[in-house]
C-alpha cells in the first residue's frame, strides 16, 4: 500500500497556484512602491539639507514706539544670495498692527541690520519674524 494519496486533478492545485501568483504580484508592487517612496524621501531630505539656497533670519531685539517698531535682524545666507524677510507686529489685543517685507542683497553671508516696521491702528508690542525666502 502506498502512503501518498492522490488528489483529484484540478480541484485543489489550481487555486493554490493562482494565490501564489497574486501574492508574488503584490510583493513586487510593494517592493517597487517602497523603493520609489524611499528614493523620494532621500531626494527631499537632500534638497532640504544641502540643495536649496540657504536664507534665514532671526530677531535679535526689538524696540516698540508709538507708530513703529525698530527690529534688529540677523540674516544668515549663502554669499551672493539675495532675498527678503517678512516681519509682523501685534498690538496688546493680539491684532496685527504692522507687516512688511525687508529685502537683503548684500554679498556677505551674515548681515546684522536694524529695520523700521511702521505700525497702523495701534502701538506694536511684538516683532515676529514670519519667514525668510531666497530669490
pLDDT bin (cut points 50, 70, 90) of residue 12 is: low
Give the three cell numbers for residue 111: 548681515
Q: How many CB atoms lie within 10 A of CB 115?
A: 17
pLDDT bin (cut points 50, 70, 90) of residue 37 is: very high
pLDDT at position 29 over 60: yes
Taking residues 16-45, what's their average pLDDT?
Answer: 89
Alpha helices in the chain (DSSP H): 13-46
Taking residues 16-41, what's their average pLDDT?
Answer: 89
Q: 133: which residues sit within 8 A by CB, 6+ positions away?
A: 55, 83, 84, 85
CA 54 to CA 59: how far, in whole Å? 17
Could you say which DSSP state residue 92 is in? T
pTM as predicted: 0.59
CA 101 to CA 33: how far, in whole Å? 42
Taking residues 68-96, what's their average pLDDT?
Answer: 89
How confident is the prediction for the chain on average, in pLDDT?
84
pLDDT bin (cut points 50, 70, 90) of residue 73 is: very high
Taking residues 86-109, what's their average pLDDT?
Answer: 89
The candidate with the shortest Cα–Cα distance to 67, out of 93, 97, 103, 87, is: 97
pLDDT bin (cut points 50, 70, 90) of residue 105 is: confident
For residue 16, what pLDDT is reported?
Answer: 57
Amino acid at each position: 500500500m502506498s502512503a501518498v494519496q492522490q488528489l483529484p486533478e484540478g480541484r485543489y492545485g489550481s487555486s493554490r497556484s493562482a494565490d501564489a501568483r497574486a501574492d508574488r504580484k503584490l510583493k513586487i508592487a510593494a517592493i517597487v512602491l517602497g523603493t520609489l517612496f524611499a528614493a523620494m524621501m532621500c531626494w527631499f531630505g537632500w534638497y532640504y539639507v544641502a540643495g536649496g539656497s540657504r536664507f534665514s533670519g532671526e530677531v535679535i531685539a526689538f524696540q516698540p514706539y508709538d507708530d513703529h517698531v525698530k527690529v534688529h535682524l540677523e540674516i544668515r545666507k549663502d554669499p551672493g544670495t539675495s532675498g527678503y524677510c517678512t516681519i509682523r507686529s501685534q498690538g496688546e489685543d493680539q491684532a496685527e498692527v504692522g507687516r512688511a517685507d525687508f529685502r537683503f542683497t548684500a554679498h556677505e553671508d551674515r548681515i546684522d541690520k536694524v529695520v523700521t516696521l511702521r505700525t497702523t491702528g495701534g502701538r506694536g508690542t511684538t516683532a515676529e519674524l514670519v519667514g525668510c525666502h531666497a530669490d
